[in-house]
A and B are shown apart, each in its own frame.
Chain A
Amino acid sequence: MVRIPSTDSEVIFTVRRKADVSSLAPRFVLTPGATIVPENGSVQDFSHGPVKYVVTSEDKAWKREYQVSFKPMTRMMKDTLEIDFEDVESETKNGTYYIWKSRNEDGTLGNDWSTGNAGFYLSNSKAAPDDYPTTVLAEGRSGKGVKLVTRDTGTFGRWVKMPIAAGNLFLGKFIVESALLSALKATQFGIPFDKRPSKIEGYYKYQAGTQFIDKESKVIDKNDIADIYSVMYINHDADGNPVYLYGDDVFTNSNIVAIARVSDLKNTDQWTHFEAEYVYQKEVDLDLLENYGYSFTIVFTSSITGASFEGAVGSTLCVDEVRVSFSKEE
């Protein structure tokens, strides 16, 4: 069973490369009273692309469409992952904030990247797209870049003791369900991956905001700093149940295999090169690797303690031309 974040209208199941997707009968768990067309559990042909499902509310007054697809894994052939932040879309329902797309080698777009923008929408639903924490840098080092800004979440944010929202962009899912109750569980890090990363590098600019505040909105004598890191981990437990890393264990979970963390970020208004090697804490099982038994995340944030809602409003991290190189497997 997979939990679909309420902000997603596109549901993609990734299956093995040779899987037959022409007759599958997915079953959906709906809000009590809601109904779905085509019928729940009915056999559908997913071999010609996504199948549209429509969910109708109990009082029939509300409908929402979902595009459900089963896509075979596309194996990456290159030995470098190139991330240039060129594929940006507007959030589809209201167009209120930006979302970033990943680009597969066959040119199709995927949903691997997420941001906390949906969480900021809770605190300030009237903000313009460029006033969100994660925005587009129109003039990047080449083409577009990504601009992460630590924002003030306003009266409501202060009330729930989340006075700031750091700009972030990561491989994984943002689970808005958890945003108020257990915010560290809202950032679900990692996508299944079949490569062994060795180094991450790229270019950044950074300007720390002037006033660092804690979650009680108290000013603290501290300088803000950005964070860029990448983590690889085993994505299941001994019983085969899926494992994800979240904001509260992304550096500490016992399933972690390797961490690369950029340690020398500083204030700079010029494009500055950064890099970090992956430090392996565990051996990599190549069979497991080939079968997508590992997941991998890259995280960019404008405030290093942003996940615990501490940082300086205005801290701005710009990133572009990120490259992750992989070890050649024998």
Chain B
Amino acid sequence: MKRFMIVLMAVMTAFPLWAGTGLSDMKWGVRLGYNIGGTAPLSMPAQVRKLNSFTPTASINTGVDVRMPLKDRWGLTTGLHFENKGLKAGITAKGYHMALVMDESELEGDFTGRVDINVKQWMFTLPVMATYTLSPKVMLKAGPYVSLLTNGGFDGDAYNGYLRQDNPTGPKVEMAGKDGKHGVFEFDDDMRKVQLGIGGGADWAVGGRLGLCFELSWGLLPVFKSDFKTIKETLYPIYGTIGFTYQLN
């Protein structure tokens, strides 16, 4: 966290100097928005037969933005956002490969049945984006971001199904019903603390100091650490944000 704050402060201070402009040119704003999207593989594997439910959770995106005009229509924006990239989803899987790894024990096989997943990723995000003013009302932006997770959770329940150990011809083991305990999984500790990605979007000045923002953030690092093998598919956080902005100066 400390290292993150140093990076943030460095960026904030270096910004005006690098831009060659004074502090007075900087435009400050606050935002309140909502994240919606998924922590998902880039393409759905054939083993996922059905999406039974998809419930966005309280995925708030709030924070401070600062923008600095550079040359002509170009500018640079950064800020600090506090946000959650969460979701709740229920799928029906057939032969979905998974491994429960616990210290020296490992139960690996193909799960057929229903899986409910609950993801939360509360984080501080620092974007650095180039801006281009398209018209007095519309500004486009794109650039990388870095996020630091303060509270990550990936848990769920595998139920109404069975596991074929090792491969689809292996021993068949029934897994718990909805209120059972055996199918419950929790991979909080396997989540990466730092996420990197690219984002982009548009700001639209509605009138006065009020505006709307639309953004898309695309994680380039998998949400899980590289030594995590339980879920075979690599999951990336891909979220869209829609929100209000308010210009402070």
Contact = CB atoms under 8 A, between A and B. Distances in A.
A30 B107 CA distance: 24
A125 B106 contact: yes
B172 A177 contact: yes
Interface in B76-116: 94-95, 100, 102-108, 112
B173 A179 contact: yes
A93 B166 CA distance: 11
Secondary structure type dominating chain A contacts: loop
A7 B103 contact: no
Contacts of A160: 181-182
Nearest to A126: B106
Interface in A139-179: 153-157, 159-160, 176-179
B174 A180 contact: yes
Contact of A6 (B104, B171, B175): B171
Contacts of A125: 106-108, 165-166
A232 to B, nearest CB: 30
Contacts of B181: 160
Given A62-B168, A176-B171, A154 B105 contact: yes
A123 B171 contact: no
Interface residues of B, number: 30
Interface string B162-185: 101111111111111100111000
Contact of A176 (B95, B168, B172, B177): B172
Contacts of A156: 100, 102, 105-107
Contacts of A31: 112
A123 B100 CA distance: 10
Contacts, number: 77
A154 B104 contact: yes
Contact of A123 (B105, B108, B170): B105
A118 interface: yes
A160 B102 CA distance: 12
B108 A181 contact: no
B171 A121 contact: yes
A57 interface: yes
B176 A122 contact: no
B173 A122 contact: yes
A16 interface: no
B182 A181 contact: yes
A64 interface: yes
A57 B102 CA distance: 30
Contact of A180 (B106, B164, B175): B175
- Shortest beta-carbon contacts, A-B, top 10: A156-B105, A6-B172, A155-B102, A155-B103, A154-B105, A64-B169, A62-B168, A155-B105, A181-B174, A176-B171
Given A62-B167, A154-B103, A154-B104, 8 more contacts: A118-B171, A122-B171, A125-B165, A156-B105, A160-B181, A176-B171, A180-B174, A181-B180
